[in-house]
């Protein structure tokens, strides 16, 4: 008989084994993000976690009127610097023949690459620059001769009316009307490299208005600076910057559908939706190039426009108002998030 200090052996029967339940694998504790969104942190779900990004304040550098104005200014001044050494006041130096065509050419190149440059798409900027250069040369000479013909016709009317001094506003207007041609040429190239007839139309309107304003002010500047090299630099620089600002302002005022970047490296930039199909991705060739985010696919999403219908189709992970999105007909005010970028879809209200 066992002593009281000895323990009885443990007996396990087959019935006991059958009643044992195997616990389910434990799930990682959820990690809470702001706004109550939860993610379990698994490798499979990591790319689909929605982490809201804060809206950022845009910079003036990404405003169309600003970077196009700078592009026009730099283009005009570069052309002036090349041709000025060969310019002869009251004479016929090689600079007299080349200055205006070069100004048109460099303005066209500047406007052609400006948008791609601020979007950090070097490859696209180079391609557009290569296309803009021959177009600028051809249109530069063509529109220069056309502007000269209009100017001489206008000056003939002014002389007959008794306006024979550059201090007379009639002479200023005659030059302004003639130099509207410069802005028109730049607008044409802007639309061609942007692959959009509507973009070209807006560019022609804005460039024409801006160049006309610069032309009107050219002679008063020449009178104040007593003519010569300085007056040409200031006058042509004004034509370039006014053309660019005009193009940017008209394009912004007449747009009907666009994406405004509210967060990310391009915060403050607006992408106007001109094309029937707009690609979004990390490829530099994309219409909307998104950089500095490894989670963005080469082609991450596509926007298709058919009449009044704007269809958004996601290829990679996209969130709309915090929810995963595959396909959606966009509505004014929709907030889209792609990686570290956030976009607000906007459209002009139709009466």
**CA 281 from centroid of its chain's CA atoms:** 15
Over the stretch 60-103, which tens digit does the pLDDT of each residue have? 899 999 999 999 999 999 999 999 999 998 788 999 999 999 99
Give the CATH number of domain 258-347.
2.60.200.20
In this prediction, residue 19 has a pLDDT band, given cuts at 50, 70 and 90, of low
What is the C-alpha to C-alpha distance for residues 188 and 135, in angstroms, rounded to an integer?
9
- Quote the pLDDT of residue 40: 37
Phi-psi region of 202 (alpha: psi -120 to 50; beta: other; left: phi over 0): alpha
Write b or e for each residue in 208-247: b if 16 or more Cβ atoms lie within 10 A of its Cβ, otherwise e: bbbbbbbbbbbbbbbeeeeeeeebbbbbbbbbbbbbbbbb
Higher pLDDT, 8 or 47: 8
pLDDT for residue 46 is more than 70:
no
Q: What's the confidence (pLDDT) of residue 109?
A: 95
pLDDT band at 13 (very low <50, low <70, confident <90, very high): low
State residue 24 phi and psi, 5-degree precision: -65, 150
Q: What percent of the chain has pLDDT above 90?
A: 71
> Rounded CA gap, 71 and 59, in Å?
17
| Neighbouring-strand partners of residue 310 | 305
First to last CA, the chain: 103
Tell me how many degrees the CA angle 43-45-49 measures, rounded to the nearest 5.
Answer: 120
Dist CA 280 CA 335 (whole Å): 15
- Does residue 23 have a pLDDT over 60? no
Q: How many residues does the chain have?
A: 351
Residues 65 and 118 sit within 8 Å (Cβ to Cβ): no
Quick one: pLDDT at residue 91? 82
Q: Tokens 């616990």 label which residue?
A: 23
In percent, the amount of the chain with pLDDT more than 70 equals 85
pLDDT of residue 11: 61
The torsion angles phi and psi of 248, rounded to 5 degrees, stand at: -65, -40
> Do the beta carbons of residue 214 and residue 180 sit within 8 Å?
no
Q: What is the pLDDT of residue 14?
A: 57
Report the pLDDT value the prediction gives residue 167, as an integer from 0 to 100. 85
**Mean of per-residue pLDDT scores for the chain:** 86
Residue pLDDT, tens place only, 297-326 = 999 999 999 988 999 999 999 999 888 999
Report CA-CA distances (Å) from 309 to 27, 180, 257, 276, 328.
43, 36, 11, 10, 10
Q: For residue 12, is pLDDT > 90?
A: no
Q: In this predicted structure, which of 34-38, 270-274, 334-338, 344-348 has the lowest mean pLDDT?
A: 34-38
| Range 307-313 contact pairs with CB under 8 angstroms and sequence separation of 24 or more | 310/257, 310/273, 310/345, 310/347, 312/336
How does residue 26 score in pLDDT terms, banded at 50, 70 and 90?
very low
> H or E segment at 223?
helix 197-224
User: pLDDT at position 38, please?
Assistant: 41
The pLDDT of 208-237, averaged and rounded, is 90
Phi (first) and psi of residue 277, to 5 degrees: -140, 125
The whole-model pTM stands at: 0.81
Q: Binning pLDDT at 50, 70 and 90, where does residue 51 land?
A: confident
- pLDDT at residue 43 tops 60: no
Please report the pLDDT score of residue 5 as a whole number. Answer: 52
Rounded mean pLDDT of 154-182? 90
* CA–CA separation, 68 and 43 (whole Å): 44
Q: Domains of the chain: which residue ranges? A: 60-254, 258-347
The answer, yes or no, to whether residue 2 has pLDDT greater than 60, is no
């Amino acid at each position: 008989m066992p002593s009281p200090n000895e323990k009885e052996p443990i007996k396990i029967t087959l019935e006991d084994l059958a009643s044992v339940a195997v616990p389910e694998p434990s799930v990682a504790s959820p990690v809470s993000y702001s706004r109550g969104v939860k993610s379990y942190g698994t490798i499979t779900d990591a790319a689909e976690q929605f982490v809201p990004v804060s809206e950022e304040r845009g910079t003036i550098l990404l405003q169309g009127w600003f970077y196009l104005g700078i592009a026009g200014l730099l283009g005009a001044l570069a052309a002036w610097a090349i041709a000025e050494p060969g310019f002869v006041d009251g004479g016929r130096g090689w600079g007299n023949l080349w200055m205006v065509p070069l100004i048109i050419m460099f303005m066209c190149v500047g406007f052609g690459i400006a948008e791609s440059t601020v979007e950090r798409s070097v490859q696209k900027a180079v391609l557009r620059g290569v296309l803009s250069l021959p177009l600028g040369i051809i249109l530069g000479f063509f529109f220069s001769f056309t502007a000269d013909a209009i100017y001489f016709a206008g000056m003939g009317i002014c002389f007959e009316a008794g306006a024979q001094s550059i201090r007379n506003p009639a002479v200023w207007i005659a030059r302004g009307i003639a130099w509207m041609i410069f802005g028109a040429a730049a607008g044409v190239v802007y639309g061609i490299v942007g692959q959009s007839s509507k973009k070209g139309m807006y560019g022609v309107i804005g460039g024409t208005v801006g160049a006309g304003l610069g032309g009107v002010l050219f002679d008063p500047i020449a009178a104040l600076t007593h003519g010569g090299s300085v007056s040409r630099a200031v006058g042509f620089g004004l034509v370039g910057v006014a053309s660019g600002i005009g193009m940017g302002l008209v394009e912004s005022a007449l747009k009907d559908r666009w994406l405004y970047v509210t967060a990310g490296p391009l915060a403050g930039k607006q992408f106007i939706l001109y094309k029937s199909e707009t690609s979004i991705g990390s490829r530099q060739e994309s219409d909307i190039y998104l950089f500095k985010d490894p989670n963005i696919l080469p082609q991450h999403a596509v926007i298709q426009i058919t009449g009044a219908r704007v269809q958004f189709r996601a290829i990679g992970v996209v969130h709309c108002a915090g929810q995963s999105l595959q396909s959606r007909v966009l509505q004014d005010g929709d907030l889209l998030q792609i990686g570290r970028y956030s976009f607000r879809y906007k459209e002009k209200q139709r009466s």
